A and B are shown apart, each in its own frame.
Chain A
Amino acid sequence: MKRIGVFVCHCGTNIANTVHCDQVAEVAKDFPGVVYSCDYKYMCAEPGQQLIQDAVREHNLDGYVVAACSPRMHEPTFRKCAERAGLNPYMIEQVNIREQCSWVHADKEKGTEKSIDLLRMAVAKARKNEPLSSSTIPVTKRALVIGAGIAGIQTAIDIADNGFQVTLLDREHSIGGRMAQVDKTFPTLDCSACILTPKMVEAAQHPNIEMVTYAEVTAVDGFVGNFDVTIRKKARYVDFDKCTGCGACQEKCPKKVSSEFEMGLGPRKAIYVPFPQAVPNKPVIDAEHCRYLLDGKCGVCKKICPTEAVDYEQKDEVIVERYGSIVVATGFDQFDISKYEEYGAGRYPDVITGLHLERLMNASGPTAGKIKRPSDGKVPEKIVFIKCVGSRDEAKGRPYCSKACCMYVAKHATLIKEKMPQSKSYIFYMDVRTGGKSYEEFYKRTQEQYDGQYIRGRVSKIFQVGDKLIVRGEDSLIGRPVEIEADLVVLAAGMEPRADAVALARTLGISYDQHGWYTEAHPKLQPIETHTAGIYLAGVCQGPKDIPESVAQASAAAVKATGLLSKGELTSEAMIAECNEAVCAGCGLCISVCPYKAIEKKKVSERVHGQMKERVVAVVNPGLCQGCGACTVNCPSSAMNINGFTNEQILAEVDALCQR
């Protein structure tokens, strides 16, 4: 019979206030297998750990149970402590009598009773613990960055600078993302393109960066250190090796299409480069609009191309590449303002979003930087901004703050005043949030030097009279209705997760919140990691951020990814599935449910009634298995077990609970 020790921790007063720790330790002495039991103020502290190690040696313990805080917190501590005492680290159990007893119960007697029950279960389990060991798996020293906005670009450059190969992938044909659409950045009013373009070029030219644009991730297999990523490269119909980017095709293409990059405010052709600074700066054919591809007529671009780079026969290409780590930097979509019918969004062309305004202000935009109304091209004089559209609005399912809007609205008001000194900006707001370096000062300037008129209140309705937009709302500070005859209304549309964010999360096996933002492993202490080892987050895909925050997180993700890649090999989980071949019936149900493709079939020979017979059994690849347990619950013969959580151990716990 295994000799088990029990160590009950007071956690200062955290546990001791609601649990009679001494009593728990005393009762535990009677549990079968327990040969030593004691309590102590701080088991995790140096003297506490020493106490455990001494007891292991003195009482010749085969394993022990620590009743303390959450194993998430200190299981590694006590495992290491076991190792120092000469035990296999998996011979110990930690039972959480803090979060599960003292912190949730007020009644000390009941808290004690529950602690005893939990401890009895843990002792029963510990008696069935077996030494476990981990194996090592090699790491593929290559990273994948999904999304090549500013966050993705920064991550890729940082990883590449650290000497690792990195693939920078984007589904658009140019890298740059949302930041490329932005005219100027707050609070410094730098030209966005001026600071972004060098980064884009650096990424494109970096020897360690492979750029894969116009491509999507369709499947991710494998596990940390060795992800097998299936990438679908969409057909461009232009051979980039031959194309010189001369632009002749674009010029001659007869098909005009509304430009996505310009937010529909300007045209592009069916063969096009989305914006002048695009990287790669070579055109692709939009198969949905190309006349040749649609009905075989036209073919002008092919005829005109001096290098015969146009290739209508090109097909999508699917490749599978292996990466050690993945950084997700897929950014955001802008909230669809047409959901605000009361603002006439979608109906009135002069009710636009902040991103529209960015394009209208941009020198290379559809209006060459002149702010003109989309409806009639007139220069607006009275401009109304409405904040918190599609953010902080429970009714629209967007209760969160989009964080960047307060500042970009201030920026817009400032820039408009600079461009058109005769104009007047009215800004309807709920609160003004300027938490950021030099942000508050910028906002003050907008008000004081740039004549931005901030009105605290909600707009209830916008309607058109003549060529004016009547903005009707309430100034809640003075408690009076307001009505403004505006020429242009700019809605500060919030950020929302990409429409396909959930689908990608499922492909990657990472978690997401109720809105679709990807969930970090810990909101405070692990804001970069996901719950899936080896996959990290950068930028807005995790939640609304402005540019400096995205860049900071991008660099952090790069460090995480590089840290992983710099290890030669990873230690695999010790608590992984194992198949009892004697019992395994070879039905293969485990194989079909394993999310890590860690289970395979194998043939075994055995002597049955004097004859050698072959049969099929399941075998777990310890490198791939993550110990999720899907196979164990699906195994009809209970041949699959998670080491450290075997069916027997769990039954022993249930038994112990029932035998109080």
Chain B
Amino acid sequence: MFTATTIAILLTMSLAIARMCIGPTIYDRVLAVNMFGTKTVLLIAVLGYLIGRPDFLDIALVYALINFIGTIAVLKFLRYGGFGDTHEMDTQDVDDKSNLSDGGPQ
């Protein structure tokens, strides 16, 4: 039954890869990569059982967390063109009314 699950996860991963390759927008790709990452978490967890070494779960845990941070980094980059940056900032952002008064640590 782990075999069946592995196959299903691999199938889902291939669907995500397909979405990533065709795009069309960059957000589709981000979405696909993010989904691919969570499927990798599952794949590693299941593979651990398939080959009888469930201590792989630490790796799955690392993936889960790295995947999240990577997605956030990608989106921040997309929006601001850099990580601590201001250029290319969109002006129509409604929930950023107070950003002019922002700055410095509390």
Do A and B originate from a single complex?
A: no
* Residues of chain A at the chain B interface (Cβ within 8 Å): none
